[in-house]
Chains A and B, each alone.
Chain A
Amino acid sequence: GAVVSQHPSWVICKSGTSVKIECRSLDFQATTMFWYRQFPKQSLMLMATSNEGSKATYEQGVEKDKFLINHASLTLSTLTVTSAHPEDSSFYICSADPASGVAQPQHFGDGTRLSIL
């Protein structure tokens, strides 16, 4: 089955630090990846759509300069939370879509729990 690896799984850092999260599709190529944020006991909220070789598409209300997304290859997308503050603490999850042209399940990484002190 399709496997998505996300790293790191847990980050604790001081306010003002920038944090990079990696999302890799291990056994398939992903032209599209999605980044979600999930606060405790809430739903998955889409932050942005990451497209290989082009700029990411951000959802309304998500700061592009704060959440930098890079999708440099068909197997890797990165999310960098710049100058993180306590309100950025959340569970960040990526998903990858094999994009065969027919609706396919999104495969989720294991998530990254980010805690900003």
Chain B
Amino acid sequence: NAGVTQTPKFQVLKTGQSMTLQCAQDMNHEYMSWYRQDPGMGLRLIHYSVGAGITDQGEVPNGYNVSRSTTEDFPLRLLSAAPSQTSVYFCASFATGRYGYTFGSGTRLTVV
């Protein structure tokens, strides 16, 4: 049981490039979310999904797209990377009826 798996662990992008951060969970959790972590600001919600085919925006969605074609996968796409998107990104999931999120180990992204 791997939990929440994120790839890659590290990535350096040039301004304007696009990329996809991958997230997969094997716990059959309905809910999945993407957060970004910046110093002193805690974790801020980017996008979330309440089930396959259903996504919605969080607190800081600009510049990011998501889709949820299966229960297991919830990729985060950066459309045109900007230095302001330099951050650590965490994917998380939780099951209906339970309250605790399970987080992945994160992707550290640097945009130069």
Q: Do A and B bind each other?
A: no
Spell out A's residues near B (CB within 8 Å): none
B residues sitting closer than 8 Å to A (CB atoms) are: none
